[in-house]
Amino acid sequence: MKERVFNFNPGPSALPLEVLKEAREELLNYRSTGMSVLEISHRSKEFDEIMAQAVARVKSLMGLTDDYHVVFMTGGASSQFFYAPMNLIREGETADYINTGTWSTKAIAEARILGKSVNVAASSEDENFTYIPKEFNFSPNPAYVHITSNNTIKGTQYHSFPDTRGAPIAADMSSDILSRVFDPAPFGLIYAGAQKNIGPAGVTLVIIRDDLAKRSPETLPTMLRYSTYVAKNSLFNTPPAFAIYFANLVFKWIESAGGVAAVEKVNNEKARLLYQAIDQSGFYRGTAREDSRSKMNVTFRLPTEELEAKFIEDAAGEGMGGLKGHRSVGGLRASLYNAVGPDAVRALVSFMGEFERRHG
């Protein structure tokens, strides 16, 4: 079996080795059922326990009060781009969006396809989405204010969330959920595709406040209403059972690591090491504005595209994968999600120094 690499993939991405081993051990015979977790009924007591644990762990890890519902859906975060406006913008209402790049742009487009009224309250398009806006032009009473908390492609991240004057924030947190502590009180909706900090692709975590869940219009098809998932505890139909099972193991792993606060401390140090290596070099150049840099996705360039290709090739030879930038922007990107250990970052920094010595 090939030795495991340091995995800097942007998603699907690194998963905790301990969790992979636990899932492997339970794969053929889950808790003495004589069946794989891939085979047990989603109506069984065993799966009921998995679901209950997953919900309870998310609430505990994120400090959610009882008026928040935790549900598991499919379709990825991209499906939430239409779920949110379809369910939450009522007749005559406007939703505000802050545009910080590709995923925000897509979310705005989906709301407009539905014929919803959208106000772009701020945008960083004027500088190619290399920063997070700090000044906003909010509507008088928006249905919600939508943000993308971390931007995987451009490598930017909110370090503090906007004051929306009481309007609920709806946040795509796919790439930084459970990576840092924050106050959930201003948020009415949080959603995240699993394949970065939660688990394997196939399930989407959705956290919705009760007052927003009640907005779902009955004129929508049943499976397009948030209220359906809330009322049926994500079990109206067969959910992505294995992905939920695996996510529950990841939530347990975060608990055992000391919770989100402890994970955040490690994440801060990983990002500090890598940005320091970039900033102290005349060879590497970060692409995001310093006050908006992501701690999850570090984007940078080399003097030429030829050197970037050589960097990716040589890094792979040294057991480091997933460093190629998004196809829309090129360059390099190191994704430092929760399961990427400090040892991986130290190895990358060491390689960067050696590569600069050879080619700088």
* Catalytic site positions: 103, 172, 196
Two structure tokens written together for 308: 């970037």
Name which of 349, 285, 297 is nearest 14 in CA terms: 297
Nearest 5°: phi and psi at 45? -65, -30
Per-position DSSP letters for 252-318, written without gaps between them: HHHHHTT-HHHHHHHHHHHHHHHHHHHHT-SS-EE-S-GGGB-SSEEEEE-SSHHHHHHHHHHHHHT
Q: Are 114 and 85 in contact (CB under 8 A)?
A: yes
Nearest 5°: phi and psi at 244? -70, -45
* Alpha carbon distance 256, 337 (integer Å): 17
* Alpha carbon distance 134, 219 (integer Å): 38
Q: Are 42 and 241 in contact (CB under 8 A)?
A: yes
Two structure tokens written together for 291: 């006050």
Name which of 200, 154, 198 is nearest 173 in CA terms: 198
